[in-house]
């Protein structure tokens, strides 16, 4: 009952309800209907026997939303075992509202058993009854998990990011269409790195990929979660994430969800 009452108060006080014309009694009735139908249409949770998180989008405000806890959102990317066909699937696990900070406590590249999650179609969602407990070490390297179980492609040269970009789904980039790249850190800035390998030119130059003009950069810009901004220049690292082309500067860039060390890696 307390959970329903809390949700009712939240809905009644929301901008969506309060900005509507009409008396307060009518708004209360509408809010109660919203809460009732929301609870009646929620899918039952599924308990997944094995979940291996490998990537993260740290808590942030939903685009255009007020700075309130209920507008926070975070994601884990994980290999989830489908207990019906015994196969592994790559899924985005979304944490909304007050659950968003929980992603910071969950260890990546560890196995969690019997995790209760809610199916939302394109993604699965954590609920208040979702628990990630007793993480177990996985007897595989990072690359074996990423390219083996997840089956993400590895680009052997950074220059290949010019012609390999992640797919779009309904106008938004498909966040599970990821690539693995390796490079040496040559630049550091607030939320990311500039990385390089032997394939990138000494001076940037424009090229044509199909009908698109694309700039081959001197270094590839990679935006990373805060937890991975810990290495200094000349660190040898691997990055997993989506690849896109800047609308204005036409340079490829990556939004990484995982970073790990491949060689020598001085820390900040």
Q: What is the DSSP letter of 210?
A: T
- Residue 40's pLDDT is 62
CA quadruple 233, 214, 180, 135: dihedral positive or negative?
positive
Contact 155, 179 (CB under 8 A): yes
Q: Hey, where are the domains in the chain?
A: 46-147, 152-261
pTM: 0.82
Averages of pLDDT over each 10 residues, the chain, 268 residues? 73 82 86 78 77 96 82 95 80 94 97 91 88 96 94 96 87 90 95 96 92 94 97 98 95 97 95
| Rounded (10°) CA dihedral 105, 113, 62, 229 | 40
Q: Do domains 46-147 and 152-261 have the same CATH topology?
A: yes
Half-sphere exposure of 217 (CA within 13 A, CB side): 19
- Given the candidates 2.40.50.140, 1.10.3720.10, 1.10.1060.10, 3.40.50.300, the CATH classification of the domain at 152-261 is 2.40.50.140
Q: Could you tell me which CATH number the domain at 46-147 has?
A: 2.40.50
- Residue 127's pLDDT is 92
- Residue 3's pLDDT is 63
Contact 242, 255 (CB under 8 A): yes
Residues in the chain: 268
- Residue 1's pLDDT is 55
Cβ-defined contacts of 116-121 (< 8 Å, 24+): 116/45, 116/46, 116/47, 116/48, 117/45, 117/46, 117/48, 117/51, 117/80, 117/93, 118/42, 118/43, 118/45, 118/46, 119/43, 119/46, 120/43, 120/94
């Amino acid at each position: 009952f307390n959970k329903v009452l809390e949700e009712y108060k939240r809905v009644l006080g929301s901008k969506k309800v309060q900005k509507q014309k009409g008396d307060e009694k009518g708004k209360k009735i509408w809010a109660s209907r919203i809460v009732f139908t929301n609870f009646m249409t929620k899918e039952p949770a599924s308990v997944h026997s094995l979940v291996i998180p490998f990537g993260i989008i740290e808590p942030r405000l939903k685009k255009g939303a007020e700075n309130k806890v209920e507008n926070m959102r975070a994601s884990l990317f994980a290999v989830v075992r489908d207990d019906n066909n015994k196969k592994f699937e790559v899924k985005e696990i979304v944490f909304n509202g007050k659950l968003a900070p929980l992603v910071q406590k969950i260890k990546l590249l560890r196995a969690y058993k019997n995790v209760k999650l809610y199916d939302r179609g394109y993604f699965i969602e954590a609920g208040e009854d979702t628990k990630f407990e007793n993480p177990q070490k996985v007897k595989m390297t990072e690359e074996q998990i990423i390219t083996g179980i997840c089956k993400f492609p590895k680009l052997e040269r950074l220059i290949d990011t010019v012609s390999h970009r992640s797919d779009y789904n309904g106008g938004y980039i498909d966040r599970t269409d990821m690539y693995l790249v390796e490079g040496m850190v040559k630049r550091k800035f607030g939320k990311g790195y500039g990385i390089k390998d032997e394939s990138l030119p000494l001076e940037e130059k424009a090229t044509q990929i199909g009908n698109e003009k694309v700039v081959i950069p001197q270094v590839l810009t990679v935006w990373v979660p805060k937890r991975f901004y810990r290495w200094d220049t000349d660190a040898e690292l691997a990055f997993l994430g989506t690849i896109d082309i800047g609308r204005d500067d036409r340079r490829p860039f990556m939004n990484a969800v995982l970073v790990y060390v491949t060689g020598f890696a001085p820390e900040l």
